[in-house]
Amino acid sequence: MATSLPLHISRSVPDGPTTPYHQYVYAYPHQKAYRLEADRPLLTDVWAGERLDSLSLYVHIPFCEMRCGFCNLFTRTGAPEDVTRAFLSTLERQAGATRQALEANGDPRFTLAAFGGGTPTYLTADELARLCDICENVMGADLGAIPWSVETSPATATPDRLAVLAERGATRLSIGVQSFVEAEARAAVRPQKREEVEAALTRLKEAAFPILNIDLIYGIDGQTEQSFKVSLDAALSWEPEEIYLYPLYVRPLTGLMDRHDKSTADWDEQRLGLYRFGRDHLLAAGYRQTSMRVFSRIGTAAVEAAGDSSISEYNQQAGMVGLGVGARSFTTDLHYTTDYAVAVPEVRRIIDDYIATPTDEFRRTQWSFRMDDDERRRMSVLSMLLEAEGLHTELYRGRFGSLPQDDFPAQFALLGERGWLDRDGGLLRLTPEGMAWADAIGPLFFSSRVNEAMSSYQDR
């Protein structure tokens, strides 16, 4: 039986986006909508009734050797070994408390894992081995039997670190190159030599991970189609299974905030032009676009991995277990995390506070956002519509008892008017131009509650 539409679902949207670059929607709601609540429920209660047979594990390592000018991630540079060792000891205590909460509700099974940050390979080889031990022996994730991904950088993709990851079964290594043109790297406040990048890629290829991903950025000051082609062709020469193309964003408290030319109209034109050029170049080179940012080489493990996340298992954000300061966890009714920040003093304070946290504190949530039916509908639309596979309306109806275009008529009407939406039977899919505007389309589906919480958040 169809359920009635919640009264607080928005029936209207603004006139529509005027800029294609508003916000990268990698998870809904954004962390800036979370708040430190007085009522902090026990993890045992939070995970009660949740599906535990297909969990994802995310471990956040908040350390880097340097901070790029565009970076607004939660990370500290140059942390000494006494800090990283203490961090891992705390992570182990948090993992123990989390595992106990999960086991109180059943037999947890992890089917996917990722180490992100920050730069996980900032850790030494011995520390990486210890991190894997924590995931396997404390959390119970069989890293040798499941897909798992690790972020790395040119400076930290060393032979000893890669050997640990290969031995423990990592299936995907993602390296942030951003640009093979040294002048562009300097303009993005990422000082690196191309020879250092090439040496790291040589080591990654020799390690023979099933999936190699190379991250590139477009929209850097002075970047042109010609210079972007240099980076695209350099990346293609390594035959990576994936290439991610990220538009440059300049966010508060980042190194580029006061030095990048942010003339909106000119910058938007530059980024859109470079995006279309890069997209077409990769498609012609035998890659398949799976989202605005992601391009997978046809006939490789990356395409097979994308196919594994079948539409019948869509919207699995409920079932994410996060470890480490800044990591998020998702259940059906609650998304939660620790504190996080961007500014250097705040980042250091939060990491120090995390290391000093008593184990009992890890048995309760901290910063959180409570989900309701409205927010779950929005999350479901975003998790499918922004992917090339598209939004399967019958899957949506099977979960919510209504059609997405009936729940959000104004939003879908706007997408149709702009020529950004294809309707193919029970499938709603962004057009190529709609995909180019994905970072503006996503926020159209944010609730007023989320928008208000994000606008009142104080950057720090």
Tens digit of pLDDT for each residue in 210-233? 999 999 999 999 999 999 999 999
Distances (CA, A) of 169 to 140, 141, 163, 215, 292: 15, 12, 10, 22, 29
Q: Where are the alpha helices (DSSP H) in 143-181?
A: 159-167
pTM of the model: 0.94
CA 63 – CA 43 distance, rounded (Å): 26
The two structure tokens encoding residue 419:
């020529």
Residue-level pLDDT at 6: 39
The residue assigned the tokens 């012609």 is: 284
Residue-level pLDDT at 253: 77
By residue count, the chain amounts to 460
The two structure tokens encoding residue 376:
């779950």
Distances (CA, A) of 396 to 171, 257, 373, 379, 458: 31, 40, 13, 11, 35
Residue-level pLDDT at 394: 95
CA 248 – CA 271 distance, rounded (Å): 8
What is the secondary structure of 347-393 as a DSSP string? Answer: HHHHHHHHHT--GGGGGB--EEEE--HHHHHHHHHHHHHTBTT-EEH
The two structure tokens encoding residue 118:
């920050």
∠ CA 439-440-446, rounded to 5° = 100
Residue 319 Rama label (left phi>0; alpha psi -120 to 50; beta): left
Quick one: 170 exposed, middle or buried, by C-beta within 10 A (0-12, 13-18, 19+)?
buried
Residue-level pLDDT at 306: 56
Query: Which residues of the chain, if any, have pLDDT below 70?
Result: 1-14, 258-263, 303-317
Q: Are 271 and 248 in contact (CB under 8 A)?
A: yes
Distances (CA, A) of 143 to 137, 242, 327: 10, 21, 19
Question: Residue 356's CB: how many other CB atoms inside 10 A?
Answer: 10
Residue-level pLDDT at 160: 98
Residue-level pLDDT at 262: 62
Torsion of CA 275, 408, 384, 312, to 10 degrees: -170
Residue-level pLDDT at 303: 67
Cis peptide before 29 (omega within 30 of 0): yes
Distances (CA, A) of 386 to 12, 378, 383, 432: 20, 12, 6, 11
Q: Are 442 and 293 in contact (CB under 8 A)?
A: no
Residue-level pLDDT at 313: 38
CA 43 – CA 377 distance, rounded (Å): 24
The two structure tokens encoding residue 91:
């992570």
Residue-level pLDDT at 396: 96
Residue-level pLDDT at 37: 87
CA 196 – CA 409 distance, rounded (Å): 51
Question: Residue 310's CB: how many other CB atoms inside 10 A?
Answer: 8
The residue assigned the tokens 């905030």 is: 257
